[in-house]
Amino acid sequence: MNSSHCEAILLKHGIRPTAVRILLLEVMERFEHTFSLADLETEADTLDKSSIFRSLALFAEHHLLHVVEDGSGATKYCLCHNDHACRIEELHCHFHCEVCGKTFCLDDVHVPVIHYPAGYEVREINYLVKGRCPACRSKN
């Protein structure tokens, strides 16, 4: 992915493209599944932790990232490929491997429709499945 493509994505999400944000988005695009702040620090070693953290917060606020709580104690992120705030029916499930600790996006498995009582307003659903990933299952 080139810088002009990343710049266009940032602008589409209402984010001012800076050198740091473009570089960070280029790094994020290389991850196949979810990633953490620590993963980004390793891959974007020229950026400091506070710049990465501020960019993550901005990207999440502008719906460029989904925040995934997988129970590991480290917040994970995955890129959103929409240019708007995802509706509940557009959200996908995640799988957390209890052996290797990786969290995978299950892009083709959507969050099931949940009926909730009148008066409640749902703004976020985090649907997580835990177990062993195919690579860890094949080791045993």
Contact call for residues 17 and 2 (beta carbons, < 8 A): no
What's the start-to-end Cα distance of the chain, in Å? 37
Express each pLDDT in 78-126 by its tens digit. Answer: 888 766 666 666 677 889 999 998 998 887 888 887 888 999 987 777 8
Helices (H), strands (E): how many in the chain?
5, 6
User: What's the pLDDT tens digit per position in 18-57?
Assistant: 999 999 999 999 998 889 999 999 999 899 999 999 999 9
The count of domains in the chain is 1
Q: Residue 58's closest CA among 15, 23, 7, 4?
A: 15
Answer for the pair 77, 36: CB distance below 8 angstroms, yes or no. yes
Domain of 11, CATH number, reads 1.10.10.10
SS3 51: helix
Q: Which domain holds residue 28?
A: 3-139
